[in-house]
Structure 1
Amino acid sequence: YAEVETRIEALRELLLEKLLETPSTLHDQKRYIRYLSDLHAPGDPAWQCIGAQHQWILQLMHNCKESYVKEQKGKELFVPMLELEPDARPSAVGHLGQSASLQRGSSCQAAREDAWRYKAPQQVVFVDKLTQLVVSQLPNFWKLWISYVNGSLFSETAEKSGQMERSKKNARQRQNDFKKMIQEVMHSLVKLIRGALLPFSLREGEARLYGGWEMKAELSGHWLTHVIQTVRLSSESLTALEIPNDMLQIIQDLILDLRVRCILVTLQHTAEDIKRLAEKEDWVVDNEGLTSLVAQFEQCLSHALQALKPVLDCRAGEPSVFQQQRTQEEVCQLSIGIMQVFIDCLEQLSTKPDGDIDTAHLAGDVSSPDLFGSIHEDSILSAEQRLLIALSNCRYLERHSFLNIAEQLEKHGFQGVDKITQVSMESLKELDQRLFEMYIELKADPIVGSLEPGIYAGYFDWRDCLLPAGVRNYLKEALVNIIAVHAEVFSISKELVPRVLARVVEAVAEELSRLMQCVSSFSRHGALQARLEICALRDTVAMYLTPESSSSFKQALEALPQLSSGTDKKLLEELLNKFKSSMHLQLTCFQAPSSALLKT
């Protein structure tokens, strides 16, 4: 009898050893547990098996991390991946879903048959492998527990026995212990992924245990999106096991953090891409006065938002990525930053030294008055032309691009879009005004500066001059210079002409008014000459008069003695008509299109 007992004990030990071996199938585990049950093995071999499986899964996870960290420090890995249809399951997760028999038809589409190889960051490969490992091992672990709870581990027919009843009682007592095991696996899974992708979210002690990766550069939004898809599908597979949601909440928290990080990283990289757009400016101006830079800016931002769509969209049970106030503020600031980067890009390009820009390709317009030689003949853009192109781009941004972008941001669920638009518009208008003032200074100052020397050329004296014979050359030269400004602006952007011409006229009218008010006295002929020239200028630029320039012309005329005789008035009218007739061709640019057409 003693020998029989010894042999039975040896068999028990052998069976227990076999039971605790890993890896092992659920079928073998059940078989060994039933043998041990039949042999009335002491203790609770089934629970020991569950504990061994738990430790084995944890060890597999950490070994997986260590091998990939070592691989990363040694050499880069080429990993075969599948080109995916939109919303398709990543290949690794697709495979693990099938192996666990948990794949749900609606959760993914079939990957394309033809695979192609490309280099994936080691952390991404690791997350694919880690999730594959967990989702392939956890189903058997969970089924082992369910079999333990319902007693089917001990009998295929689930017949009642004292052993089965004791097992069920043990299972009820150990529910909390098993829950802790599942939670430990979930925590390890999440912390290992955080260690690879979000190391800053771990405490110092955890970082040493779960991290160890070389962070040469943060993953791009593209790879983070892939990881999010992988973790989401893993979560779906685990949910299908009917693991309670409270045990899986930690995975949902990870997904949310990854989504937030992906958005922030994508916006940061988008800002960097937009900053580099300055290098691509070719200065080719279309018929609306725009270069391709504006379209490239819109396209760059549009592509970024489109790439973020799977991340921004909420899966079942997922909260909005913007639920936290801090996230809203960070995204808002990054969005404003993107707009500001492009505004800075425009300013940088518009104020480059002449030598930094080699060629210019301006789209000529056959209707453009080009009185002083084609501005397109010179392959070097002038500072004035660059300012005009920048002003034209600014105008389009304000009226179209920023509003289109705001609409896209709202469509994708961004918060604080009004603030983003308002701050960006204010910054854009400030740049626009600075560039405009620079252009006006370059163009108006020389014209204004030429008036006084021109008026007093040849020792001209308002108190001692001949009867007027016509408008003097200084005013004609000033008008020709204003026409040159018109031609330059018109050749780049017709829309900018009224704004620029109105401001140039204001500057000239203000200077003319100042000069008239500085004259101590006029002779009869001098007063007539002054009135002729003031009226000639005012009537010529009437289309571009503003309240400010009208006021300046009025003040200039009020500084003159009134015409006392009908003869002087008649002479004034004749000389004005003579001036308009002799310079009819040159002055057509100052007329409304319809009236100019009628007179040609």
Structure 2
Amino acid sequence: MAPQPVVTGLSPKEGPPGTRITIRGEFLGTRPSDLIGLSICGCDCLLSAEWKSPNKIIAHTGPAKGKGDIIVTTISGGIGTSTIQFRAYHETIGPMKESAVWVEESSIQSLAWGRRNMAPVGYTQEDPLGLSIEGNDKKFPEDIRDIFPEGNGDLSQENFSPGWFLLENHHATSFEDLKAGLAYIKRKVESQKEGQLSFLKSNAGSVLDQLDTLMTIRSKIKEDNKLFGSDTLKDLENTIQSSISSSSEIFRDVLERREKADSTRAALTTLNRHKFLFCLPNSVDRCAEAGEYDIIVNDYSRARNLFGKVDIPIFCKVLEEVDIRILNIRRKLHQQLVQLPQSVEQQKKIIKTLINLEIQQADTKAADGFQAVDPAWDAIEARAKYLEATFKKACSQYSLKDANSEKSKYGGEIGELPNRVVFCEEICEIAASQLPDIWRLGQAYFAGELRGASDPKPGDFKKIILTGIEKMCVYLRSAIFYAFDHRSIRSMFPITWPTGGSTQALSQFLVYLPQCLRFIRIAYASLIQLDLPSEALDIIQKLIDEVRIFCLSSFFKRAIDKIKKLNESETWVFSVEDFPGVTVLPSVLEKIIVETLEEGQNVCMNPEIRENNLMDAHPDAQREVSQRLQDMLIAFCNVIELLAYQINEEDAHTPIVSQLIGFPNANQDGFSCRYSGLSWEQRMLCCLANCLYCDKSFFSYIGSVFVKFGYPTPKAAVDSGRTHANLLFSNLLETYVEHKGDPLVGTIEPSMYIGHFQWNTVEFNGKLRPYAQECCDNLVGVYSEIFTISPLLLHAILEPIVQTVAEELARLVSCVQDFNKGGVIQANVDIRLLRDALKLFSNDTAKSYFAEALEVIGTVSADDNRKIEDTLKVIKEQMSLQILCFSIDGL
């Protein structure tokens, strides 16, 4: 297991949510798929993580706040550690700061103790201590937020902290200057308190005049009470009320008509002045029918800003009616949002409209009638469901067609693509067109362009993308690998595609495997452009590698089928000059293998975009190639074996090779049978030559051809093929030796005792016995047949035959009970001649049998031995042509 990841560097070390940071460290993963977790200040940031190298990762921070560790998790090393921390903070937005939301520009309380600042947008305040800030440009060395986590250095904030303010603005000010600043603040406060007393001092005359006036009014009221009593005001009030009642009785009708006219005039004025509000319900309906939702959003926002806080009943009633219309539009738009197919731009437009309308209607009574939704996320889920439904529909459609074509007599019209091939193309087109739409919609959602009130769901979105890609791969596997059992796939997804199929349908489909692979690669290339996470792309890459291996395997299987039929194309024409007897069969095999390797290299071996070398990255591919080559070589050996034993019924009879017992070899019709100009024995010799050629050089050459085309060295397959060829050579050799040797050896004894011959009554006449002459002639015939086809087989065939002849002679001699002198000389001449003539093709065993035979015959005198040597010399001169044959080994 690899060491745990360690984070040692970070740039930058602080920032608001969404900050792009570069993470450096050690053992951060061996490849993109090895990275399975990234936490920054407790927030999961894996979706935005971009793996660069084992020492570098780039990511975007989440909605965290405060300091926290950066934890990296990998498959190889597990959960890591961090030696540094990242500080996340939320920026305060003011009127001078760019923002996507409205900032209320309320007036700020200044330090004038209750007086309002006349310039509310001027947030720059003078130093309350009255000190110069020159020389304080250097920043405080430590992070003040860590010292005062709940404080603030802004004078206008409620959580204002004097210590923060002093460290931020006066950390370099001397203590004496700070005391002077404190004295300055005290003077300002005292001047505020003395302001009222100084005002009275400067206006003392006016104050005295007011007091005199009040005293005069009081004296006048007392005099009036004495003259008219204390109820004067009450009588006056009664009189006024009586006059009002009388005037009302007189002018009641006039006043009613006036009030009605005033109210009508006021209503008309209100209608005319607020025509926009009263026409808004009809305007909303009209724009909704025309699809002009931008106008609806603008008009509704304007109405809420103008009349949202008004308590006038008529305005409230109209706004309630408008809220109901807006609520119905929101429901209609939400239904329209999840109805597919439609373009991503259309969905974005609807999402933005829904978000704006929801925000405007958030504080109204009508908002309770429609629960808060996340339209962007609903659109993403709708597209994911539509993708799955489209996959199922295509699978159902083409599987039904395929089932119907299987039931019919004919699989389809000539030249028509199989249904499975068309289905693969359809699935790849669906994925290449719909998955990018889901990804682009999700990117806009997480970037904040389409975000509503709900929090984003990066984990769920990642699951949607991975599930969509996995389902595409499962459907493609069910169609491409349909000849195998897919119970595991069916347990994951409800796939109704039938498995199996006829052999003809399978063969027809395998021809189009490269085309299916091309469809998958085109879809893969379109998804690579989306900058998907490596985990998602690895799913498709795994499928591509599986199809590449399967396609390569199908090429080799097709080649094996061709090799199995090579016996039909054997012409028995010799084609290898350096290896006599080898036919054109190996060259035909080489041609088939080269064509297969070229096709496999062009379709499967050459990697395309973001693909690995098939043989280096997948041991299964190496094993598959090695196994298929082994099957090819074994199939070729089986073809040779089939050709070797391809004989007629007449060929099965054992031939009689003796010329002395009246059945010459030329009369055997079975062995005069010709096949393409060659007898069965000659064809057997060609097969032996082919086996020997394969074992010695051809199969090793085939291994070098594989290496030439970029395949790994198939040493195991070549060794297995050579072993099989060697075993076949041994079996064929045993058959041929048995076929040639048994009849030859079987004629020695009858030929030796023909005419009631006895070794104890023979008179030596200085000639070779007929049985020895016939044995030598028969061996010359075998030699001639082998030398004509393949001289390289002479030793392999003649050595066991000579050994058998020597063994038979030793047996026959040992069975003789008595030799006379002539018999001893005759036996020595016969056996020594055969021994000397066959010396080149006698192995140690044969030599021991000849020696054993001579030992059984017994020793001879010096005169007899000289006589034997002279006789052998004469006979050898007479049989010089036969003996000369056995002096050429053919190597």
Letter in 1 for 2:498: W
For residues 170-207 of structure 1, give each alpha carbon's deviation from its aligned partner in whole angstroms, at most 9, with x where no partner exists: 4x532122112212211221111122123534437448
Aligned counterpart in structure 1 of residue 567 of structure 2, from 255, 278, 282: 278
Q: 1:394 aligns with which of 675, 688, 691?
A: 691
Q: Which amino acid aligns with 2:466?
A: Q
Correspondence for 2:469:
186
Name the counterpart of 1:344.
638
Please tell me whether residue 379 in structure 1 is matched to residue 697 in structure 2.
no
Give, in angstroms, the shift of residue 127 of structure 1.
Answer: 0.9
CA shift for structure 1 position 461: 2.3
Which of 215, 220, 224 is the equivalent residue of 2:500? 215
1:116-171 deviations in Å (ceiling 9; x for gaps): x9433221221112111211222222112212222335xxxxxxxxxxxx63x74x
Aligned to 2:763: 466
Give the corresponding residue for 1:510.
807
Distance 1:326 1:31, change over 3 A: closer
Rounded to whole Å, the distance in 1 between the matches of 2:493 and 2:566 is: 40
- Listed one character per residue, the Cα deviations across residues 90-139 of structure 1 (whole Å, up to 9, x for unaligned) are xxxxxxxxxxxxxxxxxxxxxxxxxxx94332212211121112112222
Equivalent residue of 1:559, what SS? helix
| Pair 1:66 & 2:358 matched | no
Name the structure 2 match of 1:159: none
After TM superposition, the structure 1 = structure 2 runs for residues 165-564 of structure 1, keeping only pairs within 5 Å, are 167=452, 170=454, 173-198=456-481, 200-203=485-488, 205-206=490-491, 209-213=494-498, 215-216=500-501, 217=503, 218=506, 222-286=511-575, 288-309=580-601, 310-312=603-605, 316=610, 318=612, 320=614, 333-354=627-648, 378-380=673-675, 382-408=679-705, 417-564=714-861
CA distance in 1, matches of 2:858, 2:374: 120
CA contact (8 A) 1:196 1:211 kept: no
Partner AA of 1:251 in structure 2: I
In structure 2, runs of 5+ residues without a counterpart are 1-317, 360-371, 652-664
Conserved 8 A contact 1:260-1:321? no
1:46 counterpart residue number: 376
Distance 1:493 1:319, change over 3 A: closer
Pairwise CA distance, 1:333: 5.0
Displacement after TM superposition at 1:411 (Å) = 6.1
1:368 matched residue in structure 2: none
Deviation per CA, 1:293-334: give whole Å up to 9, x if none: 333333334433443334355554547568677776666555
Q: 1:22 aligned to 340, 358, 362, which one?
A: 340
**Distance in 2 of aligned mates of 1:78 and 1:5:** 61
In 2, the alpha carbon distance for the partners of 1:260 and 1:593 equals 49
Structure 1 letter corresponding to 2:813: M
In the TM superposition, residue 465 of structure 1 has moved relative to its aligned partner by 1.9
Measure the CA separation in 2 of the matches of 1:48 and 1:192: 26
Of the candidates 873, 879, 884, which is equivalent to residue 577 of structure 1?
Answer: 873
- In structure 1, the partner of 2:112 is none
- Whole-angstrom CA distance in 2 between matches of 1:182 and 1:60: 15
Measured in 2, the distance between the counterparts of 1:151 and 1:430 equals 74
Quote how far apart the aligned CAs of 1:456 are: 2.1
CA contact (8 A) 2:334 2:375 kept: yes
Letter of the aligned partner of 2:841 in structure 1? Y
Tell me the distance in 2 between the aligned counterparts of 1:511 and 1:592: 25
Contact (CA 8 Å) 1:72, 1:122: kept in 2 or not?
yes
Question: How many correspondences in the alignment?
Answer: 529
- Cα-to-partner distance string for 1:479-517 (whole Å, 9 max, x where unaligned): 111111112112221211222222222221221222223
**2:229 equivalent in structure 1:** none
2:565 match: secondary structure: helix
Cα deviations by residue, 1:198-251 (Å, 9 ceiling, x for unpaired): 353443744872242363144665433433343233223212201111123322
Change in Cα spacing, 1:139 to 1:323, as seen in structure 2 (3 Å) is closer
Structure with the larger RCO, 1 or 2 (CA within 8 Å, 6+ apart): 1
Partner of 1:125: 422
Q: Distance in 2 between matches of 1:483 and 1:456?
A: 22
Tell me what 2:365 maps to. none
Q: Secondary structure at the match of 1:203?
A: helix
Q: 1:123/1:559 Cα in 2 relative to 1: closer, same or farther (>3 Å)?
A: same
TM-score by length of 2: 0.54
Give the SS at the match of 1:354: coil
Moved more, 407-416 or 574-583: 407-416
Query: Partner of 2:439 in structure 1?
Result: 142
CA distance in 2, matches of 1:560, 1:243: 95
AA aligned to 2:381 is: G
Name the Cα RMSD after superposition.
3.5
CA distance in 1 between counterparts of 2:764 and 2:466 reads: 105
> Is the alpha carbon distance of 1:479 and 1:385 closer, same or farther for their aligned partners in structure 2, counting shifts above 3 Å?
same
Contact kept? 1:256, 1:321, Cα under 8 Å: no
Distance 1:205 1:418 in 2: 39
- Structure 2 SS opposite 1:555: helix
- Kept in 2, the 8 Å contact 1:387–1:439? The answer is yes
> C-alpha displacement at 1:7, in angstroms?
3.6
Alignment partners' CA distance in 2, 1:282 and 1:177: 68
Contact 1:228 1:259 in 2 (8 A): yes
Letter in 1 for 2:643: L
CA contact under 8 A between 2:614 and 2:621: conserved in structure 1?
no
One-letter amino acid of the counterpart of residue 872, structure 2:
L
CA distance in 1, matches of 2:562, 2:720: 21
1:96-115 aligned within 5 A: none
In structure 2, what is the Cα distance between the partners aligned to 1:262 and 1:201? 18
Structure 1 residues 79-98: aligned runs within 5 Å: none
Q: For residues 204 and 178 of structure 1, what CA distance do their matches in structure 2 show?
A: 23
CA contact (8 A) 1:124 1:223 kept: yes
**1:361 corresponds to which residue?**
none
Work out whether residues 191 and 202 of structure 1, in 8 Å CA contact, stay in contact via their aligned partners in 2. Answer: no
